[in-house]
Structure 1
Amino acid sequence: MQNFIFFDIDGTIISEDGFLPESAVRAIRSARAKGNATLINTGRTSMNVDPFLKEIGFDGYIYGCGTELEYDGKILFHETQTPSLSREIVELVRRTNVAVLYERSDAMFYDTQTRMLPGLEELLDLYTRKHTAFSAVPETPDWYTDKFVIWYDEKSDLAGFQKGIQGKFDYIDRGNNFAEMVPWGCSKAKGMAKLMELFGAEREQVFAIGDSLNDRPMLEFAGTGIAMGDNPMLHPYADYITVNLKEDGLEKALAHFNLI
């Protein structure tokens, strides 16, 4: 029976500082060679998945927490936000004094009219070093986003921000004054469900491996949810907890379930 294995990226395949263990590459390739379908399931949009990750070899991708699905090189689904809603969010972000990065499949944007908090500054510095393109939010009527992330501090009106996105976006607390906004009705789990319906697969065939709270939906949807050892916030939602990435946690988890 073919299994479907969904992998988060950051903290699961690579560390936050970009370290890719050879054991992770070996494990993913071995799982695929054994006849399993291997898929990335990430909060990143498609333009932000590094080429060296795609070179590992995957059958498909769920991008942007379920906002875009790709399998066997074909785009199966892509949800974007309207320019009017996107501009409404821009005004909300500016009014509530948070820092922001807007993400869509072909571009990323920061806002020169909002704050530059340390987390955003560090991320933009990383993108600069990696030659990952980003630009300022244009003041054009046709601009739009797919999803976005924010950073906040004691000067931010977080309650006002959360109230402003109700019914439009899900708010995912990522810890350390950082949060991710995913369109209402989209999630890593919803993306998985769409693919499983397409292939007529049962949940018992589905494995999901992640490390942070935005991975909770996919761990709960999967027949077997696996959490990396680093983040105890995710552990209550996992069926199995492996060790961390640098201790070869991904490879050990796949070996435990006889997937490699």
Structure 2
Amino acid sequence: MDRKMIFFDIDGTLVPECTNDIPESAKNAIKTAIANGHLAFINSGRTLINIHETVKELGFSGYCCGCGTEIYVGDQTLYYYELPLSSCNEIIDFFYKNEISSLFEGSNSLYILGKDAYTPATASIEASMGVKFTPLDTEELRNSAQFTKLLYWAPNHMEDSVVQEFLSQWFDIIDRGDGVREVVPKNHSKATAIQKLCDHFQIPLENCYAIGDSTNDLPMLDYVPHAIAMGVSMKEILPYVEYQTDTVENDGIEKALKHYGII
């Protein structure tokens, strides 16, 4: 058979933003695609700790987490990137001294810094995921926190260009809108995760499909020949997609997979 590999974002694609309520149509579509012999992967900005059990219950072929910094196939780790602790210390120290609200994401831990970082969105993540952001409120914690990527809110009290210049020695920066910046290690993205899995499974790129809704999906949507946008997507991604499906709540996943004959 002509085996396909399909990559799914989570937030705004598989589930509505800040929830874990996967529509039944999406669950059935993904399970059918796998039953038909295809490979289905999560490809998310979330690190592994932030992948909810309702997602794992669908039996995905594996998970690309943290914008390509963690790749899992079945119960095996195919790839894992670790930012040196010395770099973590330097970055946290910069954010702490400059009072920049931020979230630091590791494979097994989530950290929060700054009073403005604890927003309704972060509270919703904690409630829905059953995880807790550890406040970096002691020097001991700030010196021991290990993370791979981060989010921060562009500060009002200093030029964001100064923050971005500091971070650029380690990271690429994605503008997520509303002043939110997603910060990802250089040479890592949702596209690099796809490339590694194509090599691993010896599946040609032309057999790859990616479904997303926001600017952190752009690397994978631009990389694969079959890029799909959800019905409600950031306008910046639309020039890069081959097909726009319906919203997640209105069976968008099922409709997309049917459109391409995957199910």
Q: TM-score, normalised by structure 2?
A: 0.92
CA distance in 2, matches of 1:145, 1:128: 18
C-alpha distance after superposition, 1:20-53 (max 9, x if no partner): 2111111111111111100000000001100111
How far 1:94 moved relative to its partner?
2.9
How far 1:223 moved relative to its partner?
2.3
Residue 53 of structure 1 is matched in structure 2 by: 55
CA distance in 1, matches of 2:56, 2:231: 24
Residue 207 of structure 1 is matched in structure 2 by: 209
Match of 2:220 among 194, 218, 221: 218
How far 1:17 moved relative to its partner?
4.0
Residue 139 of structure 2 is matched in structure 1 by: 139
Which stretch shows the higher mean deviation, 129-138 or 96-105?
129-138
Q: Identical aligned pairs, as a percentage?
A: 35
Contact 1:162 1:171 in 2 (8 A): yes
How far 1:162 moved relative to its partner?
0.6
C-alpha distance after superposition, 1:45-91 (max 9, x if no partner): 00110011100110011000000110021011110111111111112
C-alpha distance after superposition, 1:104-162 (max 9, x if no partner): 11010012xx3414xx4223312442321321235344432111111235335311111
C-alpha distance after superposition, 1:163-193 (max 9, x if no partner): 1111310100111111100001111100110
Residue 116 of structure 2 is matched in structure 1 by: 116
Contact 2:230 2:245 in 1 (8 A): yes
SS of residue paired to 1:174? strand
What pairs up with 1:87-236 in 2 under 5 angstroms? 87-111=89-113, 114-117=114-117, 120-130=118-128, 131-137=130-136, 139-140=139-140, 141-231=143-233, 232-236=235-239
Name the aligned partner's letter for residue 257 of structure 1.
Y
Residue 4 of structure 1 is matched in structure 2 by: 5
Contact 2:8 2:14 in 1 (8 A): yes
Q: How many residues align?
A: 256
Name the aligned partner's letter for residue 257 of structure 2.
L
CA distance in 2, matches of 1:217, 1:128: 28
Contact 2:18 2:121 in 1 (8 A): no
How far 1:205 moved relative to its partner?
0.8
Contact 2:211 2:227 in 1 (8 A): yes
Structure 2, unpaired ranges of 5+: none
Residue 68 of structure 1 is matched in structure 2 by: 70
Contact 1:96 1:161 in 2 (8 A): no
CA distance in 2, matches of 1:99, 1:142: 19
Match of 1:259 among 254, 259, 262: 262
Match of 1:23 among 22, 25, 41: 25
Match of 2:240 among 213, 233, 237: 237
Name the aligned partner's letter for residue 134 of structure 1.
F
CA distance in 2, matches of 1:17, 1:69: 23
Aligned pair 1:36/2:38, yes or no? yes
Pair 176,107 (structure 1): closer, same or farther in 2 beyond 3 Å: same
Name the aligned partner's letter for residue 254 of structure 1.
L
Contact 2:102 2:112 in 1 (8 A): yes
How far 1:95 moved relative to its partner?
4.2
SS of residue paired to 1:252? helix
CA distance in 1, matches of 2:173, 2:217: 13
Contact 1:97 1:155 in 2 (8 A): no
Q: TM-score, normalised by structure 1?
A: 0.93
Which stretch shows the higher mean deviation, 139-148 or 63-72?
139-148
